């Protein structure tokens, strides 16, 4: 027969300081791990494309700079998205889903959608190509999250 183990409640220390600022709102270890993976990806793009970029553009780091620009843009968009209150995402989920469908239809319109490697999946926006299906993945998750919150019962 095993002895009974007394269960104790965790009592906060009186001298413990509550976390404030970013550390309270976000998991900084997770953000650091994600940033480390992104930087590793940028280095991999650079090392894998040096010879190809040298041949094509006479600039060995062409793809590195392009990837670094896209990563910077992505981080900026992510910071803006994180700053948007979740209430706005929840309230506008249906509109985002509708916008996503419209972007998917826009790809199929001749002259608007861009064909790459035999498939119409891209929209040309300035110097960049965007794939509306990537936005749609996020919009579906946002809509479903809002739907589940509304129908919580």
pLDDT tens digits for 93-137? 999 999 999 999 999 998 898 888 888 889 988 888 889 999 999
Distances (CA, A) of 72 to 24, 44, 63, 102: 25, 16, 14, 27
Nearest to 142 by CA among 100, 102, 106, 90: 90
Q: Which two tokens stand for residue 8?
A: 């104790």
Write out the E strands in 26-144: 113-116, 119-125, 128-130
Sequence-distant (≥ 6) Cβ neighbours of residue 141 within 8 angstroms:
none
pLDDT of residue 98: 98
53-104 per-position pLDDT tens digit: 999 999 999 999 999 999 999 999 999 998 999 899 999 999 999 999 999 9
- For residue 119, the cross-strand partners are 116
Please name the residues in contact with 32: beta carbons below 8 A apart, sequence gap of 6 or more: none
* Percentage with pLDDT > 70 across the chain: 85
């Amino acid at each position: 027969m095993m002895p009974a183990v007394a269960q104790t409640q965790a009592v906060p220390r009186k001298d413990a300081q509550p976390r404030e600022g970013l550390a309270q709102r976000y998991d900084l270890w997770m953000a650091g791990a994600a940033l480390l993976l992104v930087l590793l990806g940028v280095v991999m793009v650079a090392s894998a494309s040096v010879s190809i970029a040298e041949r094509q553009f006479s600039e060995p780091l062409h793809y590195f700079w392009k990837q670094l620009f896209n990563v910077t843009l992505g981080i900026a968009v992510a910071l803006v998205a994180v700053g948007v209150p979740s209430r706005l995402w929840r309230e506008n989920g249906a509109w985002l889903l509708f916008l996503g469908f419209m972007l998917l239809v826009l790809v199929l319109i001749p002259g608007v959608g861009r064909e790459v490697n035999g498939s119409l999946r891209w929209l040309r926006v300035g110097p960049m190509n965007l794939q509306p299906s990537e936005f749609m993945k996020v919009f579906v998750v946002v809509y479903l999250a809002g739907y589940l919150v509304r129908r919580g019962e």
